[in-house]
Amino acid sequence: MPATDQDWAKAYATQALSDLDAREKLARSGAHKCHRLHFLQMAAEKVCKAYLTASNGHSNVRKSHAYVAKNLPLIARVVYSSVGNRMAAWEISQIKDLAHEIQLLAPACDDGDVRLDNSEYPWQDRVGNILVPSEYSFPNIDDSSQNRTIVKLIRLIRTASESYIR
Amino acid sequence: MMKSKIETANNLAQVHFMNEPKLKHVRLLESIDESDPREPIKLLEVVEGTIERGIEPILFPADPARGIEYPVLIVEISPSEYENIQNNTSGLTVHGWSVGSELPA
């Protein structure tokens, strides 16, 4: 019997949790920031795909990487709302900014050739220098545990993924 | 006691307005199966500044532990997409939906 879209949604959510676990292990072992961000981007993309697959179909969702900027803030709003939490306006704005930055970590997402920085492959800047992810600081994303918004966002990805595989 | 779909939809709209200052309208989306409890609550949410991707529904499973007894489907669109939908509903009718009443903040 072929898999249903619901089966695919659960599979995406399961893999999102595994990606988050990998990110945590990398963080504890002192891996380069690009690797932590790579797994964060993958987890964020997969939780969005879990929520999109059930209503749009696996075949329509699987190929794109460009779901995070729009859908992660929406998932955040609904998940926080469901537990009766209220988010501050600044927090909503920060989550939107972070979701956009996380989406850009995928090499295929470059904001129309404007943002070539990504967590996987070297790229060339405007003056011809080759930049390497493992040597780049990713100044637009503070993924340290001191950044309350990213800590909350990571918790959200975990909660949202778990709620799909219950 | 289990809340009705419309009560749940109203509660959801209120908390979504609280958590998204750029949310301008919440409209119900209706299908012919609305009386079926497995049919999700469907909300069309108009958010200023959202990325325009057309009708891209996102489905949240029911969460009875948090008082949400029905699956919830949300379509988030921009004000300009909302305007287009009011002139041409084909993006919704392809899913079997029509635009229903507006839910208050």
CB contact under 8 A, B15 and A69: no
Does this model's pTM top 0.95? My answer is: no
Residue-wise pLDDT for A9-55, tens only, equals: 999 999 999 999 999 999 999 999 999 999 999 999 999 999 999 88
| Other beta carbons less than 10 A from residue A29's beta carbon | 8
pLDDT tier at A64, thresholds 50, 70, 90 = confident
Helix (H) or strand (E) holding B58: strand B58-60
Q: What is the pLDDT of residue A61?
A: 86
pLDDT at A8 over 90: yes
Chain A residues with CB inside 8 Å of B19's CB?
A: 77, 80-81, 85-87, 92
List of domains in chain B? 5-102 (3.30.460)
Please check whether residue A106 is in contact with residue A118, taking contact to mean a CB–CB distance below 8 angstroms: yes
CA distance A10 to B79: 32
Amino acid of residue A45:
E
A32 touches chain B (CB under 8 A): no
Of A166, A24, A16, A87, give the one whose Cα is nearest residue B61. Answer: A166
Q: At residue B10, does pLDDT exceed 80?
A: yes
CB of A66 within 8 A of CB of A109? yes
CA dist B91 and B97 (Å) reads 9
Is the Cβ pair A77, B19 closer than 8 Å?
Answer: yes
A70 touches chain B (CB under 8 A): yes
pLDDT at A40: 97
Q: How far apart are CA B17 and CA B84, in angstroms?
A: 22
pLDDT of residue B7: 93
Please give the ipTM for the structure prediction: 0.91
Given the structure tokens 């070297």, which residue do they identify?
A122
With a cut of 80, say whether residue B1 has pLDDT above it: no
